[in-house]
Amino acid sequence: MRATFGARLRLAMAAHGPLCVGIDPHRSLLDAWGLPQDTTGLERFAMTCVEAFAGQVAAVKPQSAFFEVFGSAGVAVLERVLRELAAAGTLSILDVKRGDIGTTMAAYAEAFLGPDAPAAADAITLSPFLGYESLRPALDLAQEAGRGVFVLTLTSNPEGAQVQHALRDGRAVAGTVVDGATVDNAPAREEGELGSVGLVIGATVGTAVTDLGLDLVTANAPILAPGVGAQGGSAANLDEVFGAARGQVLASSSREVLAAGPSVRALTDHARRLADSLRA
């Protein structure tokens, strides 16, 4: 059996720095790169990103929606991106934010994590707001396949707090997500490994982790922290937001790095500089 996702992610972060770069081919970036608003432009954008980031950063995070908007041809490009990243030995985190119940959740899990997936990702993002245990089919399949998940916990959008900070029996909804991840990551913690059930916590959520009493160290979860760069997050923010759990944080940046394109060298150099600053 291959190493767990958590173990592979920790090695990748040690080798390349704690940075995940997004591939977000939204229309404004296609325009900025001088590319047509069609699948030809989409593929050139995506493959340029793969060339620039594969083997250079700890992980790459394609945003599924920006591929899906082009229909089945766009999804085919996304599948190629995932295959190319796998061939290069670079971890992929597919940002799909799936969440449902029962057989539907199981089908989502098979689509992205299963052995017969057209182009499986190393990890996917999940939405737990039908209840953390509603994600069980994906959690279990990811474990069986040696893959990972990142579960939305505290997002940086202002609307998120009305759900994520809400209390039930004195415990915030975000806290119940952390509790679930803590249980699922306990075996890895006992073996001295990083867990494979990660948490998505924005780099710009301020004091929310402390205010809500979230014990991220005990959760032993990799933490995907979007918002570094264009959204205002910085290495200093990460220290303030995550405290003792800072070593578990994989910072995510999309727009700031992608703005350096379309030059492959400029994209790579920008990503390396950002990774070095985060490591420092």
Q: What is the pLDDT, as a whole number, of residue 231?
A: 62
Task: Report whether 108 contacts 98 (CB < 8 A).
Answer: yes
Structure confidence by residue, pLDDT tens digits, 5-38? 999 999 999 999 999 999 999 999 999 999 999 9
Q: What is the pLDDT, as a whole number, of residue 280?
A: 82
**Antiparallel, parallel or unpaired: β 171-172 and 167-168:** antiparallel
Q: Is 149 helix (H, G, I), strand (E, B) or coil?
A: strand
pLDDT of 97 > 80? The answer is: yes
How far apart CA 80 and CA 74 sit, in angstroms, is 10
pLDDT of 235 > 80? The answer is: no
Paired with 199 in beta bridges are 151, 223
Q: Is 129 helix (H, G, I), strand (E, B) or coil?
A: coil
Structure confidence by residue, pLDDT tens digits, 101-145? 999 999 999 999 998 898 899 999 999 999 999 999 999 999 999
* Catalytic, out of 97, 165, 246, 255: 97
pTM for the model stands at 0.97
Looking at domain 5-279, which of 3.30.360.10, 3.10.580.10, 3.50.50.60, 3.20.20.70 is its CATH number? 3.20.20.70
Paired with 92 in beta bridges are 60
Q: What is the pLDDT, as a whole number, of residue 230?
A: 60
Told to judge if 97 belongs to the known catalytic residues of this protein, a careful annotator would answer yes
Structure confidence by residue, pLDDT tens digits, 156-199? 899 999 999 999 999 999 999 999 999 999 999 999 999 999 99
Residues 83, 254, 241, 158, Cα dihedral to 10°: -110
